[in-house]
Amino acid sequence: MKTRAGALLAAVLLSNAAGSAAPRRDVQWNSPGAGNPLLPGYFADPSIVRDGGRWYIFATVDPWGDDRLGLWTSDNGRDWTFSQPNWPTKQAATSPTSGDAKVWAPSVVKAANGRWYMYVSVGSEVWVGSAPSPAGPWADANGGKPLIARDFAPEYHMIDAEAFIDTDGQAYLYWGSGLNWVNGHCFVVKLKPDMVHFDGTPKDVTPAHYFEGPFMVKEKGRYLLMYSDGNTTKDSYKVRYAVGSSPMGPFTEAANSPVLETNAARQIISPGHHAVFADKGRSYILYHRQALPFVMGAERVLRQVAVDPLTVKADGTLEKVVPSHDPVIPAFAAHRTRGLRWMGKGADALAADDDYATVWRPEAGQPPVLTADLGAVRDVRESRVRPAFAIQPQDLRIEASQDGKSWRQVAAETGVSGSPITLRHPGKARFLRMTVTAKEPAILEWSIF
């Protein structure tokens, strides 16, 4: 049975992960073909699982959540398709004690009973749902009420629940954050076999420098409680870890904590709120970090999901993570499916560089038109468009030309969303131009096939 994308039931970090391939350090954040960010768009708080050969990443939709989660699926770990699971919704997961916070921070695991469970924050409360597969359909599993109400400990934030299943099959739930970016607290409780009810009284196991985002892994009989510290809206967010002899603690922060933090020279800002998974004998850390270019104090926070190797040392502690823009991930395909090479002038080229960190936006005072030059007249069949904001409706119109002077409309879609958005337009063309009408026209990649 698989949980957490191929790890054992306890999400074990494989000790033979030592020697993980190093990232390609010459790659910068705006280098064509860079593998990080992993996902095309603005998302945070990722949870990853694998089932039936397919990868699933559940995540918060930025900025600051949506009425539903984001769900990305892939059969090769590189080409991801966006959807939104049917549950939870802000409307369906609201109680008399709920706050106005949106849907945040999912944790998805497979239990010993064969079903999948999701623990998710809605309105500063933790809700639990269940499904026969990660693809759903999902449904509330607790009678339409929160598993952890907002007033459980009102001086703290009741969010960021993370489930952990030990090697003996016993399940635990960790959660907790602080208010106003201070005073984070971490709670843990055993779960009964139904994965819904508490088996005992929750316990405060807050380690040093804890703020939020707990994630438990087990290595060599010891329990590593990983967590985030700092402020995700600034450059101080980071991943720390503490060690204990029991899932219930107590936990002592490791001497080499933090293990993942800002690297300003590499333009990697505020990495945190992570998940750990293992595949093909290696372990990885999946996390969010600030979208680039990062402006301190910006009005809204836009984060992107990245992945890097995670290595366990012989003594069971963790090596420092080397955050990168193009990591080597043997669990995934080496590259994304790219399509035809094309050229664009100025900002248009940003939609042709196969890099999810860069984004095309219309220049000030210019119409929202993106033009692609294929270099010669070619047979083309379709476009796959990856907007920066996957949930935002787009009106897309594509015109084709063989000489750059005479244009004909070949495809149009109104009010479409998702990623990728596919538009069929078989025929011959050297030039294609796409008009993007949206609340915020912004395209990460335009792939032409």
Residue range 29-84, pLDDT digits in tens: 999 999 999 999 999 999 999 999 999 999 999 999 999 999 999 999 999 999 99
| Beta strands at 421-438 and 369-387: parallel, antiparallel or unpaired | antiparallel
Which pTM was predicted? 0.94
| Contact status, residue 312 vs residue 346, Cβ threshold 8 Å | no
Q: Do domains 15-310 and 346-448 have the same CATH topology?
A: no
pLDDT of residue 340: 98
Strands 252-253 and 272-279, bridge-based pairing: unpaired
Rounded Cα gap, residues 317 and 180, in angstroms: 31
CB count within 10 Å of CB 18 equals: 13
DSSP 8-class letter at 431: E
Give me Rg for the CA atoms of the chain: 22
CA–CA distance, 221 with 160 (Å, rounded to integer): 25
Strands laid side by side in the 162-165 sheet: 162-165, 171-175, 187-191, 203-204
Q: What pLDDT shows up at residue 150?
A: 96
Q: Are 27 and 335 in contact (CB under 8 A)?
A: no
Sheet bearing 212-219, strands edge to edge: 212-219, 222-229, 238-244, 252-253
CATH classification of 346-448, choosing from 3.30.465.10, 1.20.1740.10, 3.30.70.1230, 2.60.120.260? Answer: 2.60.120.260
- Please state, in angstroms and rounded to a whole number, the distance separating the CA atoms of residues 425 and 385: 13
CA 143 to chain centre: 28
CA distance 200 to 151: 19
Confidence of residue 433 (pLDDT cuts 50, 70, 90): very high
Q: Which two tokens stand for residue 191?
A: 């779960």
pLDDT digit string (tens) for 83-93? Answer: 999 999 999 99
Residues 6 or more apart in contact with residue 391 via CB below 8 angstroms: 61, 66, 70, 84, 417
Work out the end-to-end distance of the chain between its first and last CA atoms, rounded to an integer number of angstroms: 38
Q: How confident is the model at residue 22 (pLDDT cuts 50, 70, 90)?
A: low
Whether residue 20 has pLDDT greater than 60: no
- The helix (run of H) or strand (run of E) holding residue 434 is strand 421-438
Instruction: State yes or no: pLDDT of 17 exceeds 80.
Output: no
In this model, does residue 225 exceed pLDDT 90? yes
Mean of pLDDT values over 2-30: 48
Closest Cα partner for 343 from 372, 313, 383? 372
299-312 mean pLDDT: 94
Which value, to the nearest 10 degrees, does the dihedral of the CA atoms of residues 88, 90, 91, 95 take? 90
Share of the chain above pLDDT 70, in %: 94
pLDDT at 25: 58
pLDDT value at position 322? 93
**Across 126-130, 151-155, 279-283, least confident range:** 279-283
Cβ proximity of 377 and 348 under 8 Å: no
pLDDT tens track for 395-423 = 999 999 999 999 999 999 999 999 999 99
The average pLDDT across 114-122 equals: 98
Distance between CA atoms of residues 226 and 362, nearest Å: 41
Higher pLDDT, 281 or 31: 31
Check residue 314 and give its pLDDT.
86
**Mean pLDDT, all residues of the chain:** 93
pLDDT of amino acid 23: 59
Q: Which token pair is 30?
A: 């705006």
Q: How far apart are CA 447 and CA 341, in angstroms?
A: 9
Q: Is the predicted pLDDT of residue 230 greater than 50, yes or no? A: yes
Hey, where are the domains in the chain?
15-310, 346-448
Pairing of strands 408-416, 394-401: antiparallel
Residue 9 contacts residue 167 (beta carbons within 8 Å):
yes
**Cβ neighbour number for residue 244 with a 10 Å cutoff:** 17
pLDDT tops 70 at residue 7: no
Q: For residues 209 and 1, which has the higher predicted lDDT (pLDDT)?
A: 209
Mean pLDDT of 273-282: 93
- Do you find a cis peptide bond into 387, omega within 30 degrees of 0? no
Architecture of domain 15-310: 5 Propeller (2.115)
Sequence-distant (≥ 6) Cβ neighbours of residue 4 within 8 angstroms: 11, 48, 49, 109, 275, 276, 277, 278
Q: What is the pLDDT of residue 379?
A: 98
As given in the structure block, the two tokens for residue 317 are: 């502690």
Please report which residue ranges of 130-218 form alpha helices under DSSP H.
none
Q: How many helices (H) and strands (E) does the chain have?
A: 0, 24
Segment 414-435 mean pLDDT: 98
* pLDDT at position 83: 98
